[in-house]
């Protein structure tokens, strides 16, 4: 066998070994890559009823709707003696003010169920969460000065409380709680949709 032939054979063996080494490197690199991908997928928190319940309940009260108003009311009172109105004891005043009522849902009362690839959330009914009067907006008109039945601070506070209850009834009749519940459903659905892995689920909020 000539020296040239032996050189060609040696070169062929080295070439085959080099190819095998490159294939082995490619296989190992691919294994590491797939392992990293799987680890990344497995690192996402598993969506469970408990997980969703904890995250949503942590928000507690979710205010989703505001009702701004300006109101004017008249207070009037007269001393009563066993059903007989005492003359010259009438006291009265007119008060005007601005207020805001906030409505939403209490997420601590929600119910969450994860079944297969479906997430079902049941929200509580909407309710009034707060009602505040802007003290700087309060104006008092036509206030009487009656020495027999003077106006007391309790007259203002009691009248304001009655007026607040009346305004809440008006806001509810105009659809405040309905709008708050609808908005809450949208907000909760958007919150769940943004969670990692939620794209694989059907989300139902009612």
- Domain ranges in the chain are 1-43, 49-205
| CA atoms of 87 and 148, how far apart (whole Å) | 10
Tell me the CB-side half-sphere exposure of residue 45, using CA atoms within 13 A: 10
Contacts of 139 (CB under 8 A, 6+ apart): 95, 96, 97
- Give pLDDT, residue 197: 85
pLDDT average, residue stretch 94-105:
92
Is the pTM here over 0.85, yes or no? no
CA contacts within 13 A on the Cβ side of 114: 13
How much is the average pLDDT of 149-175?
85
Q: What is the pLDDT of residues 45-62, one digit of tens each?
A: 577 888 787 888 777 788
């Amino acid at each position: 066998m000539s020296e040239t032939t032996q050189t060609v054979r040696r070169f062929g063996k080295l070439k085959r070994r080099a190819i095998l080494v490159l294939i082995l490197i490619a296989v190992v690199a691919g294994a590491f890559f797939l392992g990293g991908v799987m680890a990344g997928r497995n690192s996402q928190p598993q969506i469970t009823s408990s997980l969703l319940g904890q995250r949503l309940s942590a928000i507690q009260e979710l205010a989703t709707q505001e009702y701004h108003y300006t109101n004017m009311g008249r207070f009037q009172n007269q001393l009563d003696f066993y059903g007989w109105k005492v003359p010259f004891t009438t006291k009265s005043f007119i008060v005007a003010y601005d207020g805001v009522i906030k409505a939403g849902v209490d997420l601590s009362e929600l119910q969450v169920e994860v079944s297969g690839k479906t997430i079902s959330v049941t929200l509580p009914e909407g309710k009034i969460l707060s009602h505040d009067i802007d003290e700087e907006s309060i104006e008092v008109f036509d206030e009487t000065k009656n020495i027999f039945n003077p106006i007391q601070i309790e007259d203002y506070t009691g009248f304001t409380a009655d007026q607040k209850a009346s305004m809440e009834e008006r806001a509810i009749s105009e659809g405040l709680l309905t709008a708050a519940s609808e908005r809450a459903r949208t907000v909760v659905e958007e919150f769940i949709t943004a969670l990692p892995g939620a794209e694989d689920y059907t989300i139902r909020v009612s």
